[in-house]
Amino acid sequence: MAVKYKRVLLKLSGESLMGEGSFGIDPKKLNHYAKEINKVVQLGIEIAVVIGGGNIFRGLQAEDSGIERVQGDYMGMLATVINGMALQSSLENHGVYSRLISAIVMREVAEPYIRRRAIRHLEKGRVVIFSGGTGSPYFTTDSAAALRASEINADVILKGTRVDGIYSEDPELNPEATRYERVSFEKVLTNHLRVMDMTAFTMCQENNIPIVVFDINHTDNLQKVAQGDLSIGTIVE
């Protein structure tokens, strides 16, 4: 079966794991993502995953709790490790070999991030789960995704969301909003379209890494996008 990309990085938000809940991890969602990732592995595509921690804790919420920003960001990074462990366990239930890698050293639960080792895991067909963000405060998991994609020479970042692409306006607020199939980095910046935070987006632009935004909650969408089907999402290139 033809595939467009050899190596992809999938970006998942922590909120995507919540399902219908207001926090935590929904077992059904976790199982869904594991099955979808497995389909990509079966195509022979190398896949790495960066997952957020917003379903457990967001660093930006820390100020409301009286927690300083830096401390809050580190708490958010630890939340991504918990999500990474959950995803790894679910992948293994589907017979998928994976490695959990953390930017914050915690050898008992995850490998430390070493670029060449991570690439070697991918070459051996293992799913690599990057957790712990960038390891530094003030950076989002979008930035971590852009950084890791650049470091492992990923062909594309697949940003799995709950909407089927990039729109001229928020489609949940304006049903008449127009969905783009292809859009340039320049147009995203000029029109202030929401794709990633500016640090992450600029890194992708400078390293010429395309971004595909698509609805990952629909069965087989991840597989289709990995094969190059852009009718179900929006590509920024």
pLDDT (0 to 100) of residue 22: 80
State what percent of residues in the chain have pLDDT above 90.
68
Give the per-residue SS3 of 182-225. Answer: EECHHHHHHCCCCCCCHHHHHHHHHCCCCEEEEECCCCCHHHHH
Average pLDDT, the chain: 91
Residue 1 in domain: no
Give the per-residue SS3 of 18-47. Answer: CCCCCCCCCHHHHHHHHHHHHHHHHCCCEE
pLDDT (0 to 100) of residue 57: 84
Residue 219 in domain: yes
pLDDT (0 to 100) of residue 40: 96
pLDDT, tens digit, 9 for 90 and up, residues 59-109: 656 667 788 889 989 999 999 999 999 999 999 999 999 999 999 999 999
Q: Is the pLDDT score of 192 beyond 90?
A: no
pLDDT (0 to 100) of residue 59: 60
CATH number at residue 109: 3.40.1160.10
Residue 156 in domain: yes
Q: Is the pLDDT score of 21 beyond 90?
A: no
For the entire predicted model, the pTM comes to 0.93
The residues facing 180 across adjacent strands are 166
Residue 203 in domain: yes
Residue 40 in domain: yes
Residue 225 in domain: yes
**Count of domains for the chain:** 1
pLDDT, tens digit, 9 for 90 and up, residues 103-153: 999 999 999 999 999 999 999 999 999 999 999 999 999 999 999 999 999
pLDDT (0 to 100) of residue 62: 61
pLDDT (0 to 100) of residue 228: 87
Residue 204 — very low, low, confident or very high, per pLDDT cuts 50/70/90?
A: very high
pLDDT, tens digit, 9 for 90 and up, residues 36-57: 999 999 999 999 999 999 889 8
Residue 97 in domain: yes
Give me the half-sphere count of Cα atoms (radius 13 Å) on the Cβ side of residue 43: 25
SS3 92: helix
**Residue 185 belongs to domain spanning:** 7-236
Give me the half-sphere count of Cα atoms (radius 13 Å) on the Cβ side of residue 40: 34
**Lowest mean pLDDT: which of 25-29, 146-150, 192-196, 218-222?**
192-196
pLDDT (0 to 100) of residue 18: 87
Residue 112 in domain: yes
